[in-house]
Amino acid sequence: MSETQFGIPPKPADIAMKYSLAQTSPTAVQAVELVKDYGSGESTVHALRGVNVSFAQGAFTAIMGPSGSGKSTLMHTLAGLDSATSGRILFEGRDITHLKDNDLTLLRRESIGFIFQSFNLLPMFTAEQNILMPLTLAGKKPDRAWFARLVATLGLGDRLGHRPNELSGGQQQRVAIARALITKPTVVFADEPTGNLDSVSSAEVLDFLRTSVKELGQTVIMVTHDAVAASYADRAIVFSDGRIVADQPDPQAERMSELLNEVRLDLLQNTVSANVTAEQN
Ligand SMILES: Nc1ncnc2c1ncn2[C@@H]1O[C@H](COP(=O)(O)OP(=O)(O)O)[C@@H](O)[C@H]1O
Ligand SMILES: [Mg+2]
């Protein structure tokens, strides 16, 4: 486009700015010293203990780690669904840490797709209505070709008129995935998107996420406990007790299983030595 939306040609400085930003800042979302505590006093849970991580635009990143290590908390704070205790979150270079609710809602609606572990579909609406809901809420018309491609790729063609309780878990999750992608968001966050799928549908969904990264430049950040699922990603980060303990490029399933076993063993040894210390005192 050679003109702005108001018909005024952009100033050279604006073009240079846009260009240099695109070149020097290929980061979709970034956490800086991100801390998230739940509760206070002695019962405080330190879910994130000062996390520093950048997610590149157009990359597929897997997040792994034991249950309770902070994976969902990281996703929720990065996506503006939950507030940080301290630290900062940059979304396409913009500091969103202290955005007001209205601005956060807009950001989520325009730029973020979230696939929840528990689907979060609206029970009163059909699959098609659920998929289109983000656009309906924003008062926007769907791109029918994109809708058709999502529906076909996710194998939902003959389920569009069904309500969630008439769909299997796998079908509900595929509806949730289509809903997250319908707005063509900058970043898709997926929390265990294949957790309720059999291995065949799981492979289809992972192939679809990978294709959306490779062909559409989609940024995908996916939590998974499955080393095979992680192997579809370009990079895998391993969490333990609120910290990143490994950052693996081109993750292979076998390597990720090894890493996860090491992390579990470390946690076990720490727990045992903490108990021994407690008994000695
Ligand atoms: N809303 C909450 N209130 C209190 N503690 C929470 C809440 N959400 C998560 N936690 C705690 O924070 C830690 C990290 O949880 P979570 O991010 O859900 O881990 P994961 O997704 O890796 O299983 C856990 O100890 C969990 O119990
Ligand atoms: Mg979780």
Q: Who lines ligand 1 at CB under 6 A?
A: 38-39, 45, 47, 65, 67-73
Given a contact cutoff of 8 angstroms between Cβ atoms, the answer to whether 181 and 150 are in contact is yes
Lowest mean pLDDT among 12-21, 66-75, 100-109, 237-246: 12-21
Q: Is the pLDDT score of 22 beyond 70? A: no
141-183 pLDDT tens trace: 999 999 998 898 888 999 999 999 999 888 898 899 899 999 9
Burial (CB count <10 Å: 0-12, 13-18, 19+), residue 67: exposed
Give percent helix, percent strand, percent coil of the chain, each to the nearest 5.
45, 25, 30
- Which residues are CB-contacts of 257 (< 8 A; sequence separation ≥ 6)? 227
Given a contact cutoff of 8 angstroms between Cβ atoms, the answer to whether 81 and 96 are in contact is no
Range picked from 123-127, 202-206, 214-218 for highest mean pLDDT: 123-127
CA of 82 to the centre of ligand 2 (A): 14
**CATH architecture of the domain with residue range 27-38+46-265:** 3-Layer(aba) Sandwich (3.40)
pTM beyond 0.75:
yes
Candidate of 45, 67, 263 to mutate for ligand 1, largest count of ligand atoms within 8 Å of Cβ: 45
User: How many Cβ atoms sit within 10 Å of the Cβ of residue 125?
Assistant: 15
User: How many Cβ atoms sit within 10 Å of the Cβ of residue 157?
Assistant: 9
29-44 pLDDT tens trace: 999 999 999 999 999 9
CA of 62 to the centre of ligand 1 (A): 18
The label of the residue with tokens 């969490």 reads 239
What are the boundaries of each domain within the chain?
27-38+46-265
Ligand lying nearest the CA atom of residue 51? 1
Q: At what angle do helices 199-216 and 144-153 cross, to 10 degrees?
A: 140
- Which residues are CB-contacts of 251 (< 8 A; sequence separation ≥ 6)? 62, 227, 230, 231, 233, 235, 236
- Which residues are CB-contacts of 25 (< 8 A; sequence separation ≥ 6)? 92, 93
Whose alpha carbon is nearest atom 1 of ligand 1? 38
| 226 secondary structure, DSSP code | -
Higher pLDDT, 31 or 109: 31
Ligand lying nearest the CA atom of residue 73? 1
Q: At what angle do helices 169-181 and 144-153 cross, to 10 degrees?
A: 150
Residue 17: pLDDT band (50, 70, 90) is very low
Whose alpha carbon is nearest atom 8 of ligand 1? 73
CA of 257 to the centre of ligand 2 (A): 18
Given a contact cutoff of 8 angstroms between Cβ atoms, the answer to whether 224 and 62 are in contact is yes
Candidate of 64, 72, 76 to mutate for ligand 1, largest count of ligand atoms within 8 Å of Cβ: 72
The torsion angles phi and psi of 102, rounded to 5 degrees, stand at -60, -45
Candidate of 73, 192, 244, 271 to mutate for ligand 1, largest count of ligand atoms within 8 Å of Cβ: 73
The torsion angles phi and psi of 139, rounded to 5 degrees, stand at 65, 35
